Chain A
Amino acid sequence: MNVVNIETLLTRRILVIDDEDANLLLLQTILEREGYDNLRFLSDPLLAVETLIEFDPHLILLDLMMPGLDGYQLLDAFRRQTLPHQYRPVLVLTADTTIEARRKALAVGAKDFLSKPFDVIEIGLRIANLLETQVLYEQLTRPAN
């Protein structure tokens, strides 16, 4: 039994950033299959901050290894665009399996980490978990509503 309303969860805004169209399509398939309908897909990481401000997502799925931009810098930029009491988790997806890559990503602000290729079911569960936490956090910090 979920603490959070499933409708609330599925309407959360999710921003997916990956330079590989195939992967974007895969994630789209997975997310739509789960029932999420407020999605934004971005294959050009240079537009990431812009899109972040404009779309204001509740969750970000981010590929760390993209041409033209360092994923870690992007993580840092996201953190700076996030308000002090705002909880906006980032799930990092990367083909870099080294322990250093995980540590660095988590240290810079990622909330969770998955190596590519990932298990379809596992990613679904992790996304749901992160969103649930996000919703709960939002409910706790929102005054008198």
Chain B
Amino acid sequence: MPEPSAPLAPLRPVVPSRLPLAWADLSLTGKGLVVIALPLVILIGSLLALYFAFDAEARAEDEVRRAFAIQRDMYQVHALLAEAGSGVREYVLSGETRALAPLREAQVLLPETLARLDTSIRDQGVRQAFSEFLSLSDKKLAGLETLSELAGSNVEPDARMEAVRESLASNRFVLDELRLQIDEIQRLEQQVLDRRRSDVASDRAGFLWMTGISAVVGLLGSLAGILLFSNGIVRRVQLLEANAEKLERGEVLDPLPDEADEIGQLARKLNSASALLRAREKDLRDGEERFRLVVEGVRDYGIFALTPAGLVATWNAGAERIKGWAADEILGAHFGRFYPDETRGFLPEAMLARARRDGRAEDEGWRVRKDGTKFWANVVITALFDEGGALRGYAKVTRDMTDRKRSEEALMAAQREAIAASRAKSEFLSRTSHELRTPMSAILGFAQILELDQSDFDSRHKLAIGQILKAGHHLLSLITDLLDISSIEAGGDDVELGMLILAEVLEEARALAQPAVAPSGADLAVELPAGEIKILGDRRRVIQVVLNLLTNAAKYGATGGRILLSARLLDNRIQIEVSDDGPGVSEEDVPRLFTPFDRLGSQSSKAIEGTGLGLALSKRLVQSMNGEIGFRNRDAPERGAIFWFTLPVCKSPPDGLDTPSIGPQPITESTQ
């Protein structure tokens, strides 16, 4: 089967180059988190950078404030010592103790201020200068204290003056050094401050740069996320969609990278579904192909499909063989062309209508081949409906029954001929009967008149008249029996089966046989089973058979013997028997008993009259009533023959057979 004819070489969509496996195999939730988290992380990073920038600035301001505090405290130390110095000098000059108040104040405030400075100064270089400053301030304070003590002592004024002078001189230089030290510390602090300021400025610039970079990176990260998302998901989903469409059209799917995420799984499932579908499709196609090959290969039946409009849609070898058209000649043509002119106008549509109504329509009749010859076809049209009940078309199976039709026709012709022959035979028998009986009528009639007028003749003529009558009657019974047999064999004489009461029929036969039995002096007895037995038979024929058997018994039985007419029930049959006490029949003669003209008696010394047709006729009569006839010798030590025949027992009167019109005949045979 060719591939769908659509784009023969569809452009393979560019399969995204294999992404790093970890990313590709990441579940969709993970990918989503990554795509959302990436810009967020970048945003948080830039916020942190901003925070650090502001923090650095705040710390720089603190440094400045501290530097100013150090400066103030150092000036305060200087001021306290300077005021204490001038107070001490005044005390020395005036001796007024009131002038020592600034010294006392310095003694209290200096330790606090110096402790504060000690905590504030952190820079190692500054601290060195500060320790210098500390020792200087201690020295000054100690000098001042010493001076104040000298001034207050009771020593000699000159010595005291000298000591004061000396102390003053040394103290004055200490304060100057202190001043220099303060300047040094201030310079150092300023350097530290400047360094800090420049650090903060560079930090801030760095953080601002970082923020800028973050913004750019965030933007790029978002783009990267979108790209990743697009590549990893959207593109693949699009490919998947394309594959789903292909699946729908039954085309081959494009390969998708084998990834572990949901889309990859979906793609795999889609692939396996596609594979499954294609396998099934192939199976189906194989099945269809097989089925098509089978149907196409059938040669005995024409099997083809019709569209709802009755146009030929498929064609098989059988149809071609039977009808003569090749597939390409007939496809698309209306199937009405298979019908001969006489039926084409109505039968095709009628067949389709019947198939639509009943599901199928069968017909037998003449159809035409391509070459115009006719054939006798058996046609079955089956309507095909889809699940929704809409008509899809018809399946038509045609069989060529011409041979069967011809043999049927031959059979019918043979049957007609047979019936005609049978009729002709009946006619012949009837004519023969007439032709034979008519002269017999004259012969016997005149002979009887002569016999009636026998007083006119002498004994010689009387004997001759008697012989004419005897031979004539014999000839007549021969003719009658012969025609009876022929008539039965020709089937011309219809059997009139009816319900008969056994006892009545046998009694009638017995009464009719009485005149024939009487001369032999035999005793005729009848023994029947108790109860009324109904049998199925032709009254006239049953009586004829019984009469025949009784007459035979009288002829061949012992003179003055005993003849028994009896009947017994055997399942659903009745067996009627006529037995005598004569010599019976020798075993070798038994098979010939029912053969026409085989008069066993003629070989015996006893001259017995008879046509030799009685048993043969009886056999045919019994058989015509669905019975059997037979013979057996009586068991030793008894002697005698037993002739028997069977007839069906009538359980319930069969329909139409118990009507009075088929009762006993109103007229009795008058010639016998």
Known contacts: A30-B445, A113-B667, A117-B444. The answer to whether A23 contacts B430 by CB under 8 A is no
Q: Are B449 and A117 in contact (CB under 8 A)?
A: no
Q: Which residues of A contact B445 (CB under 8 A)?
A: 23, 26, 29-30, 117-118, 120
Could you tell me which residues of chain A, from 99 to 136, have a CB within 8 Å of some CB in chain B?
99, 102, 106, 113-122
A22 contacts partner chain B, Cβ-Cβ < 8 Å: yes
Partner of A118, one of B433, B436, B441, B449: B441
Chain A nearest CB, measured from B473 CB (Å): 9
Q: 4 nearest interchain CB pairs?
A: A95-B437, A117-B441, A116-B441, A22-B442
Q: Which residues of B contact A85 (CB under 8 A)?
A: none
B62 to chain A, nearest CB (A): 154
Name the interface residues of B317-331: CB closer than 8 Å to any CB of A. none
Q: A95-B433, A99-B665 are in contact. Are A120 and B671 (CB under 8 A)?
A: no
Number of B interface residues at 8 Å Cβ cutoff, please give it: 28
Do the beta carbons of B670 and A122 come within 8 Å of each other? yes
* Residue from B433, B442, B472, B670 in contact with A20 in the complex, judged by beta carbons closer than 8 Å: B442
A residues near B, CB below 8 A?
20, 22-23, 25-26, 29-30, 33, 65, 94-99, 102, 106, 113-122
Report which of A97, A113, A120 forms a contact with B448, defined as CB distance below 8 A.
A120
Closest Cβ neighbor of B492 among chain A residues = A98
The verdict on B96 contacting chain A, using a C-beta distance below 8 Å, is: no
A29 pairs with B433, CB closer than 8 A: no
In the complex, residue of chain B having the shortest beta-carbon distance to the beta carbon of A99: B665
Q: How far is the CA of A118 from the CA of B441 in the complex (A)?
A: 7
- Distance A116 CA – B434 CA, assembled complex (angstroms): 9
Contacting residue for A98 out of B444, B493, B671, CB 8 A: B493
Query: Is A97 a contact of B446 with CB atoms below 8 Å?
Result: no
Query: Does more than half of chain B's interface fall in helix, strand or loop, or is it mixed?
Result: helix
- Tell which of B540, B669, B671 touches A117, judged by Cβ atoms closer than 8 Å: B671
Cβ-based interface call for B486 (8 A): no
The interface centre, meaning the residue of A30, A95, A98, A120 with most chain B CB atoms within 10 A of its CB, is: A95
Q: How far is A33 from B451 in the complex, measured between Cα atoms in Å?
A: 13
Q: Does B440 contact A (CB under 8 A)?
A: yes
How far, in angstroms, from A10 to B63 measured CA to CA in the complex? 189
**Bound form: Cα–Cα A101–B667 in Å:** 12
B residues within 8 A CB of A25? 442
B603 at the interface (CB under 8 A from A): no
> Most chain-B Cβ atoms within 10 A of its Cβ — which of A98, A117, A118, A122?
A117
Q: Are A95 and B438 in contact (CB under 8 A)?
A: yes
A to B CB contacts below 8 Å, 21 in the list:
A20-B438, A23-B438, A23-B441, A26-B442, A29-B449, A95-B434, A95-B436, A95-B437, A97-B433, A99-B540, A106-B667, A115-B671, A116-B437, A116-B441, A117-B442, A117-B444, A118-B441, A118-B445, A118-B670, A119-B448, A120-B449
